Structure 1
Amino acid sequence: MQCSYFDAGLCLSCTLLPQPYAEQLADKHAHCQRMLADHPGIQWMPPVASAESGFRNKAKMVVGGTVDAPTLGLLDGQMRGIDLQGCGILQPGLTAAFPAIADFITLAGLVPYDVAARRGELKNVLLTESADGDLMLRFVLRSSESLPRIRKHLPWLEHRVPSLRVISANLLPEHRAAIEGIDEILLTTQSTLPMRVGDVELALRPQSFFQTNTAIASALYRQAHEWVDSVNPASVWDLYCGVGGFALHCAAPGRAVTGIEVSAEAIESARAASVGLPGMAFETADATAFALASTEAPDLVIVNPPRRGIGPDLSAWLEASSVQTVVYSSCNSVTLARDLAAMPSLVPTRARVLDMFPHTNHYEAIVLLQRVPSRG
């Protein structure tokens, strides 16, 4: 993928861009194999390639410039805005909406936040596009001061961008390096963005996490579904379930599926998407605390932790439990390798690399673990 921003040195986030994509993918596959080299019995499946451009479903744009000439992109070393509205890795529906959003910033008088001076109101613009082309827009603000103006001019923006379905304001009053704050103010009657992934429709709320590459997320959920169905467990836990992607893909008649996630908003989204599906339950809880407090264990556990991995406590619980099968989805092969070493009775049998993040060193890996029968 050719990128004028990269060539000009304006944005170097896609660090692997000069490397041919086929080499990127091969290197990620080889890296994951090296990280899991202590498990020689793994059957490695072919890596799953992404589209090289237009794959990212979410844009996190720092707002810079002035109210009359705002920039949407990032800040340089001097905290000046660099406009990246034409970023090539973003889905086309995102880039098509940016000009109207920039005009709206001017129309509503949303003064970009000046990091150096600690003045201004609008910090970030977060835009998400579903597979069907619908959009969710979030304005990250320093305070609620500009909300009346946003509400006043919102019909203008909805007319200019008819694909907008959910619009909200997020409040981030602190001066800190963060994308968003805790408080979310909904500005539309619709509160969830339908996010179709394969045959499953998720319900994405403003603060819910979802994978940034919809096509690769779909392949990831399909792979988990195939592995789960191959052992046909009667009971499944989906720990760190987010909005329920893995859990909903593993629903089946006669199967009890429980999703656990610390985010209450994500659990609300998962419950909304599971209406009409039998055997589904979702609970707001810490994944490790939930497992350690449980008196019974399921047949199969899916874990999809953040980069820090599942950690020693949950690894020890899984190792000592009666769980027969684990599906581990990881965005960090370093912590994945550490966690697998802590569960020697659960042997990795299959693994696959999925390129969720082209042009960077990051990738997703999914591993199937099966318990070794005890001897004696």
Structure 2
Amino acid sequence: MEVTIESMGSAGEGIGRVDGYPLFVKDTFPGDRARVSLTKVKKTYAFARLVELLDPSPNREEPRCAQHRRCGGCQIQGLSYEKQLLYKEEKVREDLKRLGGFAEPPVNPVLGMEDPYRYRNKAQFPFGKDKEGRIVTGFYAGRTHSIVPETDCALGIGENQNILQMILDFLNEHHIEPYDETTGKGLLRHALIRKGFATGQLMVCLVINGRRFPQVEKLAERLFTIPGMTSLTLNVNQKNTNVILGDEIIPVRGQTYITDKIGNISYQISPLSFYQVNPVQTEKLYRTALEYAGLTGRETVWELYCGIGTISLFLARSAKEVYGVEIVPQAVEDAKHNAGLNSISNVKFYLGKAEEVLPEKYEKEGIHADVIVIDPPRKGCDSACLETMLAMAPERIVYVSCDPATFARDLKILCADGSYELTKVQPVDMFPQTAGVENVGLLTRR
């Protein structure tokens, strides 16, 4: 059937209507007139795939990547960047209205990038075989574990292609099999590649279904000819799981970490560390969080879900004292190390769940908070954590979020009794060419 696309959904798909019946069509944008084929029909809506673009939207532009429709990574690469930013701003505003109950949410225009490509400092490439039995690497096609062969992602660093080709050549020369999810056999599962944009340091971590990699020193010789190569490690993952990384890291050559900087703060990053993938936009995000925190040097600040201490250390030089809480042991160790690396002594990190550590420190030890900064995972905050934050009654709550829907839900709870007012929301485009958007929200105590 033919349909004209009128708007966009939360996952970046186009939405059109046939006799009032909504169709969700991937790879289409507002203004497109397209021929589509239904793939899944529900009572009140349907999903469809693009068969032919009859009349393209004036807001389209030529994608840089030939694989953008097959790969599950770039949902909106065919849309002009100006329109991508407007779409994300409206997405945040609508979620705050519909899910948060804010009639006129104070949403600023999205902070975008000068060049919205080549921004990812990290990528994880699966290895497998194609139908002809050739070893391939690339990215999974959307909602599948079928590999789309591609060594040069337009969002990734330029070094990826050289590194991956070296690994592919090595596997073929030494007859090393990639992992097969269906049989559980084969050795190489993924290659994790990271780069410190400020330092130029490169990391390669090979995720393997075993404890040794044949002739790995010879591979190290090749990889370390690449300028900036700093770390080669193995990661052991012998479980039948979709989780990419296992817990054990085996050093091969160089350090087991790389160093990067955001602003004037240095961070050591291991293969297991959480670290924002877009360092250019991360600095904008953190500077916004620092601005919203309104620190004068006299405040006690808590950061919940602090990871390796990226935001905590960014705030510490402007606060009296900072406490960070994180559930991942390795991340807490990294956070403590990063504090020492930067000679920051007014920050302390606790291991545990935010919803358990925060009540304990508040109720039993009387540690208060002038400002609380939260940066939870996509699922948002635990209800007990939200309740304790309200009980501690800080002057300001700065909420950093990677999901506008859970962001809106949690803000609704925090503002429900009138104690807090949502005064500012700043979206930041951390993930250009995708439907994702990050937000910083400021709640001020009435």
CA distance in 2, matches of 1:209, 1:195: 13
Q: Match for residue 368 of structure 2?
A: 297
CA distance in 2, matches of 1:31, 1:98: 36
Q: Match for residue 84 of structure 2?
A: 24
Q: Is the 8 A contact 1:100 1:161 kept in 2?
A: no
Matches within 5 A, 1:53-202: 53-65=117-129, 70-75=135-140, 81-107=147-173, 109-131=175-197, 132-144=199-211, 146-147=212-213, 149-150=215-216, 152-202=217-267
Opposite residue 107 of structure 2, the aligned amino acid is: W
Deviation at 1:223, TM superposition (A): 0.8
Deviation at 1:182, TM superposition (A): 2.1
Q: Match for residue 357 of structure 1?
A: 431
Opposite residue 123 of structure 2, the aligned amino acid is: A
User: Is there any run of 5+ residues in structure 1 with no aligned partner, and where?
Assistant: none
State whether structure 2 residue 445 is matched by structure 1 residue 371: yes
Match of 1:268 among 322, 328, 333: 333
User: Is there any run of 5+ residues in structure 2 with no aligned partner, and where?
Assistant: 1-62
CA distance in 2, matches of 1:238, 1:271: 14
Q: Match for residue 272 of structure 2?
A: 207
Q: Is the 8 A contact 1:355 1:364 kept in 2?
A: yes
TM-score, length-normalised on structure 2? 0.77
Q: Match for residue 33 of structure 1?
A: 93
CA distance in 1, matches of 2:296, 2:401: 21
Opposite residue 247 of structure 1, the aligned amino acid is: S
Match of 2:403 among 332, 342, 356: 332
State whether structure 2 residue 410 is matched by structure 1 residue 346: no
For residues 152-188 of structure 1, the C-alpha deviation after alignment (integer angstroms, 9 at most, x for no partner) is 3244134332422122211111222221222222223
Q: Is the 8 A contact 2:179 2:188 kept in 1?
A: yes
Opposite residue 281 of structure 2, the aligned amino acid is: I
Q: Is the 8 A contact 1:130 1:194 kept in 2?
A: yes
Larger mean CA deviation between 49-58 and 135-144 belongs to: 49-58
Report 1 or 2 for greater relative contact order, CA contacts < 8 Å, sequence distance ≥ 6.
1
C-alpha change, 1:78 and 1:330, in structure 2 (3 Å) is: closer
| CA RMSD, 1 decimal | 2.2
Percent identity at matched positions?
25
Opposite residue 46 of structure 1, the aligned amino acid is: P
Stretches (4+) displaced over 6 A: none
C-alpha change, 1:300 and 1:109, in structure 2 (3 Å) is: farther
More strand by share: 2
CA distance in 2, matches of 1:254, 1:21: 37
C-alpha change, 1:234 and 1:107, in structure 2 (3 Å) is: farther
Aligned-partner SS, 1:329: strand
Aligned-partner SS, 1:221: helix
Deviation at 1:53, TM superposition (A): 1.2
Deviation at 1:293, TM superposition (A): 0.9
Q: Is the 8 A contact 1:72 1:81 kept in 2?
A: yes
Match of 1:3 among 51, 54, 65: 65
Deviation at 1:107, TM superposition (A): 4.7
CA distance in 2, matches of 1:172, 1:302: 34
Q: Match for residue 46 of structure 1?
A: 109
Q: Is the 8 A contact 2:296 2:319 kept in 1?
A: no
CA distance in 2, matches of 1:57, 1:102: 21
